[in-house]
Amino acid sequence: MAAAALRTRATRAPVLVDYTILRIHRQLSSNSPPPVTSNTLSVELLRLLFAAPAWTPDLAGAVSSTLSSAPAPAHDVVVYVLRSLKNPSLAAPFFLLASASSSQPLPPDAYNAVLPFLSHDLAALEKVLEEMSHLGYGLPNPACAALVATLVRSRRLEDAFRVIGAMRHLKFRPPFSAYTVLIGALAEARQPERALELLRQMQDVGYEVSVPLFTTLVRALAPHGLRPDDVSYTSMVWVLCKAGRLGEAEELFGQMEAERDVPCAYAYNTMIMGYGSAERFDDAYKLLERLRERGCIPSVVSFNSILTCLGKKRKVDEALTLFDVMKKDAKPNISTYNIIIDMLCMAGRVNEAYKIRDEMELAGLFPNLLSVNIMVDRLCKANQLEEAHRIFESASERGCNPNSVTYCSLIDGLGKKGKIDDAYRLFEKMLDAGHDANPIIYTSLIRNFFMHGRKEDGHKIYKEMIRRGGRPDLTLLNTYMDCVFKAGEVEKGRAIFEDMKSFGFLPDVRSYSILIHGLTKAGQARETSNIFQAMSQQGFALDARAYNAVVDGLCKSGKVDKAYEVLEEMKVKHVHPTVATYGSIVDGLAKIDRLDEAYMLFEEAKSKGIELNVILYSSLIDGFGKVGRIDEAYLILEEMMKKGLTPNVYTWNSLMDALVKTEEIDEALICFQSMKEMKCSPNTYTYSILINGLCRVQKYNKAFVFWQEMQKQGLIPNVVTYTTMISGLAKVGNITDAYSLFERFKTNGGIPDSASFNALIEGMSNANRPMEAYQVPSIQCMAALLLFGKTTI
């Protein structure tokens, strides 16, 4: 935008310019000043801006000239100048000029600094928000809330509404307080429709709307002789029911009921749905009776409301009873039949679903495409693919040609069952039939190809979608990124995260959770802190799953204290920590020997009634074992088994490793036997622990027995086990087996260490095989050269 187009009239003239410049100069020269060039630049820019009453072409030219004289991008200077400005009318043009003059994007701090000034220039505000969206910067909640509050105080409600609309248009999440302040002001200004629109919008972006906010709205309307209409009341009742605040919903519904001679059926149905969602079906039935008492026959919609809730709660038999009862008052419609068919298919009661479908036809209501789609989708979810396919094939005969939704359900069902090639053939058939593939179908194909180990085909599906001109949605991109990370393609996963912005999406909570989890699994957990900060800046309301990803990443990067802080934040924000939350922190503390704290957290989790799992118990066992507190490790194991939990291979390995390190090898062997009796299969690490332990106490022959057992199990020894076994066999004079093992190790690409060579030479010498012992050093030299070559490549 041209600088001249940004001219605005000055709101007030600067005062005491010389004194202010002198004060700023002293501040810039204090303990943490910018570089000398930045110092000079800041002083010059502030001198120009404080001396000018308004933005003019001459001022724009002088500022531009000053900025261009900087040897490097002066981002720190721009931020400082914005924070020091007194005349708000100069902030927007200065910022936009600085942004246009810079070869690199300005940092988030610069955008955060200019936002509070932009209530004077909404066109500039929209441009700044657009730039922030394009750069992927988060919205600073305090600055945005202050901006809306300023507009409200100035009674510029239309502008405040416009600002929130601009934030939503650019997929930002406006601050909670911005909504509440504006809703209150709109209610007082007798604009209930807009206030209610914002209430619904708050629900859409994931905010929990409070009862006091509703009360404020209703009370603000009353003095002006305004009474909420049926739609307004019902909307309020529904939001309260959805938030689980039935007491307040009942109060509001009662107020509405008392004010009206003729009951509003829509409001009754909404309250019935609320009762049903809370499983208060007796209250729902009473409300039906109350509707009758007020002279109204309950409609099919009322019954359908209860049937829908019964279906969601899997109360199929109760729903069928109500279905029979309702026929006395209301004739079931096609939605009623579809609700019943839906719940029967979900329950796997397919024959009964067919009977309802036949009854539907007898009633003159032939199953529509929705009926077919419900049956196909629910049967696929119930793993009854053959039945689903039969309905799919017979749909055309009944005049219901399958659409993309029908195809999608069957494609997904086949894919999840592992019949991924059949799913792809059906996908091609769908395209040949003239149906467009939507992101849901592509998401299913990508996920199922990756899930069954065919990642290259998964990548091809994504590329095919782009080639066909399809655009992914955020769910598809999140799923694709998750699959890619799980397949070990870390950089590709990062690239997908960045590509979200190019498709016009801002990453959501799930996107960030997947990114953190993927990086953590790849050993790059150190980035978790920065990602969490970015999430906080954008005002995301994190759920337990997202918090758990953050906590796990912080613990794996050694930032356990920061993870503790996140745990406390969860409690403050009423997000209940799960066993995964506690498990990550307990494991993190155990790994850095802060075992008493780990145990206290373990006890806290138990006191909160959290069902602890094997992973958490094993972390404690491993921690106590590593510091030699074997008795306590045993007590934890005993408690775990009393809870009915079965130790896994990690649990046993942790305990055996601890016993071996204290040379309690007999006890370790007892654990090994218990492990096998409990049908827990040993892994390579299990055998390595025992072989190393037996060699430590010079029971080499016994170690070799375990070595042979390990081979029979098809387990591949690691380098430490090889070298330990070679040394052990050589020391007891079993040179033939030691040398055979030595050769096999080299053949498999292993490089023996000096301990193996020395043990082999010593064993050959003791066995009176001096010539062979003489040849070993030459082998050692070759190995050393090979090792040297590898380390220098």
pLDDT of res. 447? 94
- Cα end-to-end span (Å), the chain: 54
178: in domain: no
Upper half-sphere CA count for residue 734 (Cβ side, 13 Å) = 17
Tally of residues, the chain: 793
pLDDT in tens, 433-483: 888 888 999 999 999 999 999 999 999 999 999 998 888 999 999 999 999
Query: Is the confidence at residue 261, as pLDDT, over 80?
Result: no
Query: Is the confidence at residue 512, as pLDDT, over 50?
Result: yes
**Averaged over 410-434, what is the pLDDT?**
91
784: in domain: yes
Residues 659/630, Cβ–Cβ less than 8 Å: yes
Average pLDDT in the chain = 80
468: in domain: no
pLDDT of res. 699? 85
pLDDT band at 23 (very low <50, low <70, confident <90, very high): very low
768: in domain: yes
pLDDT of res. 15? 33
pLDDT in tens, 326-376: 888 788 888 888 888 888 888 878 888 888 888 887 887 776 788 888 888
pLDDT of res. 501? 80
| Segments in 102-175 forming alpha helices (H) | 108-114, 122-135, 141-153, 157-169
**Amino acid making up residue 644:** G
747: in domain: yes
Tokens representing 218? 């209703």
What are the angstrom distances between the C-alpha of 633 and each of 11, 354, 616, 637, 664?
72, 58, 13, 6, 14
Longest dimension (CA), the chain: 113
pLDDT in tens, 733-754: 777 777 777 777 767 666 666 6
pLDDT of res. 446? 95
Residues 584/592, Cβ–Cβ less than 8 Å: no
pLDDT in tens, 198-252: 877 887 777 766 656 666 666 655 555 555 566 667 777 777 777 777 887 888 7
Q: Which residues contact 405 (CB under 8 A, 6 or more apart)?
A: 373, 377
Number of folded domains that form the chain: 1
pLDDT in tens, 156-201: 999 999 999 888 888 888 888 888 888 888 877 877 778 878 877 8
pLDDT in tens, 60-69: 888 888 888 7
779: in domain: yes
| pTM score, whole prediction | 0.56
Residues 179/198, Cβ–Cβ less than 8 Å: yes
Integer Cα distance of 252 and 214 in angstroms: 10
CB under 8 Å, gap of 24 or more: what pairs does 66-72 form? 66/41, 67/41, 67/97, 67/98, 67/101, 68/101, 69/41, 70/37, 70/38, 70/41, 71/37
* Domain membership of residue 723 as a residue range: 718-792
